[in-house]
Chain A
Amino acid sequence: MAKSPKKTTFGKVLRYMKGYRVPFAVSLVLAALIVAGTLYIPILAGQAIDLAVGKDNVDFKGIFRLLVIIGTVCGVTALCQWIMNVINNKITFGIVRKLRRDAFVKLQSLPLSYLDTKPVGDTVSRVISDVDQFGDGLLMGFSQFFTGILTILGTIGFMISISIPITVVVVVITPLSLFVAAFIAKNTFSLFKAQSETRAEQTALIDEMIGEHKVVAAFSHEDEALERFDEINGRLQKSSLKALFYSSLTNPCTRFVNNLVYAAVAFVGAMICIKQGDVTGGLTVGGLFSLLNYANQYTKPFNEISGVVTELQNSLACASRLFELIDRPSQTPDAPNAHILTEDEVDGNVSIEDVSFSYTPDRELIRDFNLSIEKGQRVAIVGPTGCGKTTVINLLMRFYDVDSGSIRVSGHDIRELTRGSLRASYGMVLQDTWLKSGTIRENIIMGKPDATDDEIIGAAKLTHAHSFIRRLPQGYDTVIGEDGGSLSQGQKQLLCITRVLLSLPPMLILDEATSSIDTRTEIIIQNSFALMMKGRTSFIVAHRLSTIKEADIILVMDNGRIIEKGNHEELLSKGGFYANLWNSQFE
């Protein structure tokens, strides 16, 4: 069980690598060349050393020949190294790019029922940092895993070619270094865990006390907070010191084992040299030199590989978080024969028939709801904050699908229409004003990309947005940052309204903004709303009593449910929730 998801993730990663078969093969060949070159040079140097034995015993010609070979091998190896790195980068960054693209494309088709339950930060971190970490791991894997293994094999091969007994010495003692490294890692794991737990505890406290610093200051609670902080801080100091110290023992310890190997090779090698004397075919000083060089480097790939393995595991974990997103089922696609609603067709009649809906199966919200809205009628949705007024918007715009029953626009079941044409027939202004980073103009023409300057300015004048836009440094071409940048809430709201007014679809969904807007802007916004609603079927999440009172149909919501419907008089005479709400104004 534990292994299979990892395997499938790996399989998915492989699928992404499919397009890179050739570069991948080239990269492997280059890696082999690099390893061969890197390992061959110490041997060549050893041979050269053997040709410079002592006074009057130097083969200049031979040495020169070897030096030329060393130069060539090193040049070729270096070139291979660079090309391999570039290829590996290309593969990794290409895969990263494709992963991000696929994730982003997926985001456009994921149902809102999924996106609404996931915090934005969580999804962003999957698309950005998880992919990044995956890429890092992949790159490291490419450049170190394969070369590491080849280096180990190559080293053993070359060592055997020089001296079998010494190879045995190296192969037998070196695992000790791995054992030491593993031992330290195993024992520091719990220390690191303790450290990160304490750290998390401290971060939580910081988050609370600094994040809500104003309240802390209001109650003069700073000293108590500092006391609690210091207590955790002291524990963190102890656990950090332990974790940091013990984990930093790995390097010195493996280096020590390495030194042991080195000494052993030196001893055994020197002994063999003496015994065999100058007999050709035995171990020469140059050979011993090459072996010492290998002994020095032999453990490095082992350490690298064990590092790469953890890195790859981490990277697979990141990939699986991303695939979890990419492999989510998309919203039901538009039917192939879905009807495209044209603007002329939309007459403003909307009927809701036997609709039942719930976000989670265990909490039924709307059941057998019926409502028929005629052209030009106003529907006000009222209720206390957080009563679920957006549910109605979610269903009308088909952000969510009804569980049963149907919603019809101009006689068509909205599930038989393309989402695009359905949504285009509504103009929507939400209280949560959202603007794209880009110019003011780009934001306004969202619903009508081919609008002329006159049309744009005309719409902006109607909503009174023109006057503040004009005063911006670059007018309509002023670039605004993420989430509207420095614009005030009211100005953002005006832009959102202008955006809808420019395209002015036959039906409207409006969320009356009441908070965080000054009175004067509020009046302007009210007037713009009134302007738009003239003759259009509109759904208004209403806060103002005037809007509510004048609405043709009032939907009263509480706790996510529609509990009453009717017009003002009907509801008042009913003496229910609405009447109560209304009358409490005058208490």
Chain B
Amino acid sequence: MKVILRFLRKYKLECVIAPLFKLLEACFDLMVPLVVQSIVDKGIANGDTSYILKMCLVLVSLGIIGLVCAVIAQYFAAKAAVGMATGMRHSLFSHLGRFSYSETDKLGTSSMITRMTSDVNQLQSGVNMSLRLFLRSPIIVFGAMIMAFFVNPDIALVFVVVIPVLSVIVFGIILAGIPLYRRVQSRLDRVTSLTRENLSGVRVIRAFNKENEEISEFETANGEHTKIQNFTGRITALMNPLTYVVVNLGIIAIIYFSAPAVNTGNMSQGELIAMYNYMTQILVELVKLANTIFLVTKALACARRIEAVFDTPTGMNIADDPATEGVENSPAVEFEGAALTYSSASAPSVSGVNFKAQNGMTVGIIGGTGSGKTTLVNMIPRFYDATEGVVRFMGRDVREYDLEFLRTQIAVVPQKAVLFKGTVRSNLCWGRENATDGELWAALEIAQAADFIREKDGGLDARVEQKGRNFSGGQRQRLCIARAIVSKAPVLILDDSASALDFATEARRRHAILNLDYNPCVFIISQRTSSISHADLILVLDDGAVVGQGTHEELLHGCDVYREIYRSLFKGGEANG
């Protein structure tokens, strides 16, 4: 709720105008039965044709004024709702953009995307409808009752009975329906998940000849869904007949009590008709109100989900006076007792890391899957903050730097090769905006990507589709390497980025990276000793702990785990990635 008001604040005027004009429209609607009443009582009774004509013109002008009011109301309601949604999307996008990796992990990207798209859309239509109907419907319902009192206070008491009864029926059925619909949905979810599971496991299911068991399980879930659907249908189908009966009982009561009044002359025929008309107006509006409430509960659920995003604080603490330069003559990267425990985990993913890497050095990091290699390097550009100890870049704690500065100083080639819609050039320029063509080509050469880019239509301007799906996995990976090299950042991190390359290409690339002219400090993560044996410093990780560090030769003699990994190459290593 709070979040809706926050973004509607800019549209205060619209939020007042829209319901106000809806209210006016409702008031004009309420006048109609009165006009009809006078046509009957004065016009027809007296045979006054000109009066009838006048009153019918009043009806037409009521219609015109109503139309104008409605158009104004619709416009301002739409403007407020759309404006709110636009502002909300902007804030969400920029808020999500400031998320650190921990928050991204927590929310999950697909849920972040749903909230930005369908949740905001539903909220927009919810706000639009409420601005239009939330005032109109109650005004008509209660207005009709008040008008009835003006027409004939005694008989208007019928309204006092009918309106609460109708409300109980309408809202009672809605309230009963909400949990039922939820149950229908959860049964349907089961049917969905069985279908998805069946498709994803099709090979195993067929290998074990489980088709018939699958069908009977599906049948059960499917039948349960149908059963609860029918039950829910029976309950909600009560709404229309019951309200219909109540309104007609109201009409019977009106006529029944009016008859003596008409007989004694206390009430005219026209007044009787007006009462009847007010009664029918109530029914229509209550049903509309019920639908609006349905929509609004849905929209409120969306609002809560959106609010949860805003309530997630953007994690990184930024220094008050962020530094934008390092200390001269200090090691490029230094770890001192650094450890990282993810917020959802009980034990640290990596701990006790101590090393210094000078400018131009190559650091290899090796270890099995889940041993903490990526976690270790993620602390350098502050994707995650060390929960213990210190990580330094150019002699300063990474937390003292301006975050954007820090990240431009550290180029990362992530494990998952991701490109973005645009051109090859626009992707490479993520590394550095003003890079020249020459620099781009040089980076492509180093990454062993120049050949296939040259063959592409348009070369550097060749189109890249969303997520780079018009390139193969290996090509994407090489482009990601090129993108990192373009930045000429003093620290370059390659996270297992050789896995999709064949050996010969990898060897050439490794050689090229070692000879980069801007002489960066390079971190290479790998599962294979061959990729890192040339490194100046090798860190061996096992289950989150550094179990050895040194050069290839030193480790071969002094580190069991390293020796094991090295030997597995000859006796049971991987032939490929």
Using a CB–CB cutoff of 8 Å, the interface residues on chain A facing chain B are 41, 45, 48-49, 51-58, 60, 63-64, 67, 70-71, 74-75, 77-79, 81-82, 85-86, 89-90, 93-94, 96-97, 100-101, 104-105, 107-109, 112, 115, 120, 123-124, 127-128, 132, 199, 202-222, 225-226, 229-230, 233-234, 236-237, 240-241, 244-245, 248-249, 251-253, 255-256, 259-260, 262-264, 266-267, 270-271, 273-274, 285, 288-289, 292-293, 382-386, 397, 399, 419-420, 423-424, 426, 428, 430, 434, 436-437, 446-447, 482-483, 514-519, 522, 526, 542-548, 581-582, 584-585, 587
User: Which residues from A are CB-within-8-Å of B395?
Assistant: none
- A132 CB to nearest chain B CB (Å): 8
CB–CB A89/B237 < 8 A: yes
User: Which residues from A are CB-within-8-Å of B202?
Assistant: 107, 112, 115
B218 lies within 8 A of chain A by Cβ: yes
CB–CB A252/B197 < 8 A: no
Select which of A41, A78, A104 is within 8 A of B241 by beta carbon. Answer: A78
- B101 CB to nearest chain A CB (Å): 6
> In the complex, A522→B207 CA distance in Å?
24
Q: A210-B109, A222-B98, A249-B71 in contact; A58/B263 too (CB < 8 A)?
A: yes
22 A-B pairs within 8 Å (CB atoms) are namely A60-B263, A63-B255, A64-B256, A70-B248, A74-B245, A74-B249, A104-B215, A203-B117, A209-B97, A210-B109, A229-B93, A233-B90, A240-B86, A244-B128, A245-B74, A262-B63, A285-B40, A397-B203, A483-B200, A543-B575, A581-B503, A587-B530
CB–CB A214/B101 < 8 A: yes
User: Which residues from A are CB-within-8-Å of B466?
Assistant: 204, 207-208
Q: A52-B263, A482-B196, A544-B574 in contact; A90/B97 too (CB < 8 A)?
A: no
- B259 CB to nearest chain A CB (Å): 5
> In the complex, A255→B251 CA distance in Å?
24
CB–CB A212/B98 < 8 A: no
> In the complex, A564→B106 CA distance in Å?
48
- A119 CB to nearest chain B CB (Å): 9
CB–CB B63/A77 < 8 A: no
**0/1 interface trace, chain B 263-293, chain A, CB 8 Å (1 if under):** 1110011001100100010000000000000
CB–CB A263/B60 < 8 A: yes
Q: A58-B262, A252-B66, A386-B473 in contact; A447/B381 too (CB < 8 A)?
A: no
User: Which residues from A are CB-within-8-Å of B85?
Assistant: 237, 240
Interface size on B, residues (CB 8 A): 151
CB–CB B66/A108 < 8 A: no
CB–CB A218/B412 < 8 A: yes
Considering residues B90, B244, B502, which has the most beta carbons from chain A within 10 angstroms of its beta carbon? B244
Q: A54-B269, A55-B262, A285-B44 in contact; A212/B420 too (CB < 8 A)?
A: yes
- B47 CB to nearest chain A CB (Å): 5
Question: Which one of B300-308, B444-452, B565-573 is at the A interface?
Answer: B565-573
CB–CB A218/B407 < 8 A: yes
CB–CB A585/B191 < 8 A: no
CB–CB A517/B94 < 8 A: no
> In the complex, A123→B198 CA distance in Å?
11
Q: A101-B218, A263-B56, A434-B204 in contact; A208/B421 too (CB < 8 A)?
A: yes
Across the two chains, which residue of chain B brings its CB closest to A283? Answer: B44
CB–CB A214/B248 < 8 A: no
B59 lies within 8 A of chain A by Cβ: yes
CB–CB A545/B101 < 8 A: no
B537 lies within 8 A of chain A by Cβ: no
CB–CB B62/A259 < 8 A: yes
B182 lies within 8 A of chain A by Cβ: no
Q: A85-B233, A212-B420 in contact; A74/B244 too (CB < 8 A)?
A: yes
CB–CB B233/A89 < 8 A: yes
B317 lies within 8 A of chain A by Cβ: no
Select which of A77, A104, A229, A293 is within 8 A of B198 by beta carbon. Answer: A104
CB–CB A543/B407 < 8 A: no
B112 lies within 8 A of chain A by Cβ: yes
A52-B272, A78-B244, A229-B93 are known contacts; what are 7 more A-B pairs with Cβ within 8 Å? A45-B255, A100-B218, A233-B90, A248-B128, A252-B67, A263-B63, A292-B36
CB–CB B199/A260 < 8 A: no
> In the complex, A81→B243 CA distance in Å?
12
> In the complex, A105→B218 CA distance in Å?
9
Across the two chains, which residue of chain A brings its CB closest to B487? Answer: A219
Select which of A123, A220, A424, A545 is within 8 A of B573 by beta carbon. Answer: A545
CB–CB A124/B575 < 8 A: no
Question: Which one of B146-154, B171-179, B223-231, B454-462 is at the A interface?
Answer: B223-231
User: Which residues from A are CB-within-8-Å of B467?
Assistant: 208, 211-212
CB–CB B192/A82 < 8 A: no
CB–CB B252/A270 < 8 A: no
- A355 CB to nearest chain B CB (Å): 20
- A394 CB to nearest chain B CB (Å): 9
Q: A86-B233, A218-B381, A240-B85 in contact; A104/B209 too (CB < 8 A)?
A: no
CB–CB A516/B369 < 8 A: yes
Q: A419-B206, A447-B208, A543-B576 in contact; A124/B199 too (CB < 8 A)?
A: yes
**0/1 interface trace, chain B 101-113, chain A, CB 8 Å (1 if under):** 1001000011011
Q: A82-B237, A108-B211, A245-B75 in contact; A54/B268 too (CB < 8 A)?
A: yes
> In the complex, A132→B52 CA distance in Å?
52
> In the complex, A266→B502 CA distance in Å?
87
> In the complex, A207→B132 CA distance in Å?
33
CB–CB A128/B573 < 8 A: no
CB–CB A48/B255 < 8 A: yes
CB–CB B97/A213 < 8 A: yes
User: Which residues from A are CB-within-8-Å of B59?
Assistant: 259, 262-263, 266
CB–CB B577/A385 < 8 A: yes
User: Which residues from B are CB-within-8-Å of A67?
Assistant: 252, 255-256
> In the complex, A386→B472 CA distance in Å?
11
B13 lies within 8 A of chain A by Cβ: no
Select which of B70, B215, B226, B430 is within 8 A of A219 by beta carbon. Answer: B430
- A68 CB to nearest chain B CB (Å): 9
CB–CB A217/B577 < 8 A: no
Considering residues A210, A236, A397, which has the most beta carbons from chain B within 10 angstroms of its beta carbon? A210
User: Which residues from B are CB-within-8-Å of A51?
Assistant: 259
Select which of A77, A210, A547, A584 is within 8 A of B96 by beta carbon. Answer: A210
User: Which residues from B are CB-within-8-Å of A124?
Assistant: 192, 195-196, 199
> In the complex, A531→B49 CA distance in Å?
105
User: Which residues from A are CB-within-8-Å of B245?
Assistant: 74-75, 78
B214 lies within 8 A of chain A by Cβ: yes
CB–CB A446/B208 < 8 A: yes
Select which of A82, A288, A420, A587 is within 8 A of B209 by beta carbon. Answer: A420
User: Which residues from B are CB-within-8-Å of A285?
Assistant: 40, 44, 269, 273
CB–CB A54/B262 < 8 A: yes
> In the complex, A520→B575 CA distance in Å?
19
User: Which residues from A are CB-within-8-Å of B96?
Assistant: 210, 213
B16 lies within 8 A of chain A by Cβ: no
> In the complex, A274→B49 CA distance in Å?
8
> In the complex, A382→B241 CA distance in Å?
70
> In the complex, A241→B268 CA distance in Å?
48
CB–CB B74/A385 < 8 A: no
Across the two chains, which residue of chain A brings its CB closest to B190? Answer: A437
- B327 CB to nearest chain A CB (Å): 22
